[in-house]
A and B are shown apart, each in its own frame.
Chain A
Amino acid sequence: MTAPVLEVDDLRVQLRTPRGTAHVVNGLSYSVGPGETVAVVGESGSGKSVSVLALLGLLPQRVATVSGRALLQGEDLLSMPPERLRQVRGPGAGMVFQDPMTSLNPVLTVGRQIVEGLRAHADVNAAAARRRAAELLGEVGLPDPERALDRYPHELSGGMRQRVVIAIALSNSPALLIADEATTALDVTVQAQIIDLVERLQTDHGTGVIWITHDLGVVAGIADRVLVMYGGRCVEDGTVDDVLERPAHPYTRGLLGSLPDLAAPVGPGGEVPDLTTVPGLPPPPTDLPAGCVFWPRCPVRGDARCETEQPPLVQVGSGRSGHFGRELPHRAATWCSEEVR
């Protein structure tokens, strides 16, 4: 058994807002093994992005209160002094954000930006760093990497920019790669290229990946394990097959039911049935319901405890052993699943 790259334990994030304290992440625990991909799924406001920003100390300290523990290769990110965190951010954990145009500096060439990251963490001279930068661009599949070094972000297409951002994130061979909606802004064909790329690099370097997305199709293709977030809590987790094929939480079921299916069977009249929807909207993090966070929208609520008592995350299916000999249980936090009753 290999030690996990990242172990998050009871992560909580509160943000002070004009409307009161927002409980954005409320007790999140998970781990990521080397070479493993954990997908964090949820809708806007579910806390998925904030939960990883908190790990890397990227939330504004004046408004954010973070508690819990997050061990990156045994070292707690949350209690680390800022200077140490800066050192960890390159070689420990790399991050790829949604919009490559805003994560790149528009007035610096691509080469400068990669070289800057390399030289911040390793003692290399400019010429060697430049050679390495060209190598990296080649690795992420940019045509003519030598020339690309001297180009500015606006000269590249969206897919190429995102490759540059990935090259920067990977420049210090991080143990952990965090991709926050990294392919959401891209077209499906480019998305397919980027996913292929990350999977290949992951196999080559044994990088653990946290892939944050709302696209369950992408999850089905890349994830080993899935964590479904709602109202700042993990409401269901398990292997990708368990969560997507045998969802136990009514929210996960609702999400899957609301996706149109490209290969939907057609009825005799050429009719595709209506989508099942999750009625209503997610609760604002400033005003989370007592009890189960999902009960106000839940189609099967009925248990007396729903409104008053928060359901614990409990095992709902048989545990499976994963790639790394680890037990990968399927868990859900609901009073309403058959297995829980």
Chain B
Amino acid sequence: MSDVLVSARGLEVHFPVRSVGLRRTGGGVLRAVDGVDLDIHRGETVGLVGESGCGKSTLGNALLRLVPPTGGRITFDGSDVTALDRRGLKEMRRRAGMVFQDPFASLDPRRTVAQTVAEPLEVHKLRSGRRERAARVGELLEMVGLDPAVASRYPHEFSGGQRQRVGIARALAGEPDFLVCDEAIASLDVSVQAQVLNLLRRLQRQLGLTLLFISHDLSAVRHLSDRIAVMYLGRVVEVGPAATVASDPQMPYTQALLSAVPVPHPARERARQRIVLRGDVPSPSAVPSGCRFRTRCPYVFEPCPDVDPALQPAGAPGQLAACHLHGVVGIPVADDTPEGVTTTPTS
């Protein structure tokens, strides 16, 4: 049994962009996910960070085949996700769950908590009989810190934090191996966020879950994750152990991103050198050539527009960064043959 549970290789999710309005100026392609390589190991928590529009949610959805990939490969526990038939896909849906951002929109307002949490049990025929299912629902609610007595209540009777717990209970109902949490704490108040973060960590340990924790909140990601992957414009540009990525980032984008995270310590805030990036993120339908970060990078130099950088070892063991500062490794833009990988040793 391989150590890697979920793996993406050269994963692409491109959406056709239809032109709108009176002047139909040819449709383009929106590269939401554009060549992602990522391995998620059994039992680990990978934090996926990046700014809005970087493709992190699309990547999470693609890994669960909630959106069809347009290129590349995804494997889940060794089998090719894109090639699954109906039965295979259903089994995968049981083994891989999702916790959504908005606990108000992701729960059916006309169903009781018990109905919502029991649905996966029915779909996957995990518990037969009403009584057994009810017992399992109670168990799941207890696991996420809710009183089993709330099972007969409706979502509107709950606060945001409690709804999110219901969402987690539903995701756990199929006894999954893998859980994607997409901005699962973003809509919650600070003190409630902490409760849900602690809960996720406890469940992850208790059940040996593998988590992909998608968030724009770097502090929360750093807190929960074993490893952090940083996305920019559809590509994972840095990945590595959480502590080292947070303290010693190797990719200029990660450095800027981290420097912009405000910390609740006035003295540290005043002393901090904030790297303010120029301009906005380019549109994912017009990705710059070569390194996609070059239009905003403070260190841009000759190879950046010409060679699309590949992830390469940088910094601490296990840390990878896609940046020419660590040696020019990647695929030259002008070259049509993908084998044209140039390598120059780091000086």
Q: Is B261 an interface residue (CB 8 A)?
A: yes
Instruction: Please report the C-alpha to C-alpha distance between residue A314 and residue B219 in the assembled complex, in whole angstroms.
Output: 33
Assess the A43–B276 pair: CB atoms within 8 A: no
Assess the B198–A188 pair: CB atoms within 8 A: no
Assess the A187–B222 pair: CB atoms within 8 A: no
Assess the A260–B223 pair: CB atoms within 8 A: yes
Q: Is A83 an interface residue (CB 8 A)?
A: no
Assess the B263–A245 pair: CB atoms within 8 A: no
B189's partner among A44, A189, A262 (CB-CB below 8 A) is A44
Q: Is A303 an interface residue (CB 8 A)?
A: no
Instruction: Please report the C-alpha to C-alpha distance between residue A191 and residue B260 in the assembled complex, in whole angstroms.
Output: 8
Interface footprint category on A: 35 or more
Interface footprint category on B: 35 or more
Assess the B260–A188 pair: CB atoms within 8 A: yes
Q: Which of B201-241 contact A (CB under 8 A)?
A: 201, 216-220, 222-224, 226, 241
Q: Is A263 an interface residue (CB 8 A)?
A: yes
Q: Is B193 an interface residue (CB 8 A)?
A: yes
Q: Is B277 an interface residue (CB 8 A)?
A: yes
Q: Among the listed stretches B71-79, B101-109, B265-273, B298-306, which one makes contact with chain A, having 4 or more residues with CB under 8 Å of it?
A: B265-273
User: 1/0 per residue A184-203: CB within 8 Å of B?
Assistant: 00011111110010000000
Assess the B266–A262 pair: CB atoms within 8 A: no
Chain B nearest CB: distance from A235 CB in Å? 14
Q: Is B51 an interface residue (CB 8 A)?
A: yes
Find chain A residues with CB under 8 A from B223 CB.
260-261, 264, 272, 275
Instruction: Please report the C-alpha to C-alpha distance between residue A306 and residue B118 in the assembled complex, in whole angstroms.
Output: 42
Chain B nearest CB: distance from A285 CB in Å? 14
A263's partner among B197, B246, B267 (CB-CB below 8 A) is B246
Assess the B280–A259 pair: CB atoms within 8 A: no
Find chain A residues with CB under 8 A from B256 CB.
189
B265's partner among A218, A220, A277 (CB-CB below 8 A) is A220
Assess the B263–A219 pair: CB atoms within 8 A: no
Q: With A189-B260, A191-B260, A260-B223 as given contacts, are A220 and B266 in contact (CB-CB < 8 Å)? A: yes
Q: Is A56 an interface residue (CB 8 A)?
A: no
Chain A nearest CB: distance from B281 CB in Å? 8
Q: Which positions in B face A, CB cutoff 8 Å?
A: 51-52, 159, 161, 189-195, 197-198, 201, 216-220, 222-224, 226, 241, 243, 246-247, 256-270, 274, 276-277, 279-280
Q: Can you name 19 extra interface pairs (CB under 8 A) apart from A261-B223, A266-B243?
A: A43-B189, A188-B260, A192-B274, A193-B276, A217-B262, A219-B264, A220-B262, A220-B265, A220-B268, A245-B265, A245-B267, A259-B264, A260-B220, A263-B247, A263-B263, A278-B194, A279-B195, A281-B159, A282-B189
